[in-house]
Amino acid sequence: MQLKTFDERLSIGGQIAPEDLAELKARGFRSIICNRPDDEDYGQPSFAKIAEAARAHGLETRHIPVSGRPGEVQATAFARALDELPGPVFAYCRSGGRAGALAAMTGR
């Protein structure tokens, strides 16, 4: 699994599967932010499936879907999630691009 670390609180990456949650937990993550809308690609695991697997590993989740370019509403929600969720936080989308853009918009 490829991760880009912004700081001790936030790392980002591409799409994960429910079976990846054990590895994320083992790497020390305590929360997951999903920036993908459900059904963006065929076969993509739904946020509900990721959230269920995350809960089974004691991880908190937040869904902040972004279609296209992230806007101010999503950036504000992302910043709020980083303030509220226990860290470190792993944020993902299809490739990590939107999660990275949101991180940059919040000053990471």
Going by C-beta distance under 8 Å and a sequence separation of 6 or more, which residues neighbour residue 6?
Answer: 12, 103, 108
Q: Chain-wide mean pLDDT for the chain? A: 95
By percentage, how much of the chain surpasses pLDDT 70? 100
pLDDT (average), residues 74-97:
96
Per-residue pLDDT at 41: 92
Closest by Cα among 17, 81, 80 to 54: 17
Per-residue pLDDT at 79: 96
* pLDDT reading at 62 higher than 90: yes
CATH code for the domain defined by 3-105:
3.90.190.10
List the domain boundaries for the chain. Answer: 3-105
* pLDDT reading at 108 higher than 80: no
* pLDDT reading at 22 higher than 90: yes
By percentage, how much of the chain surpasses pLDDT 90? 92
Which pTM value belongs to this model?
0.95
Quote the distance between the C-alpha of residue 107 and its chain's center: 17
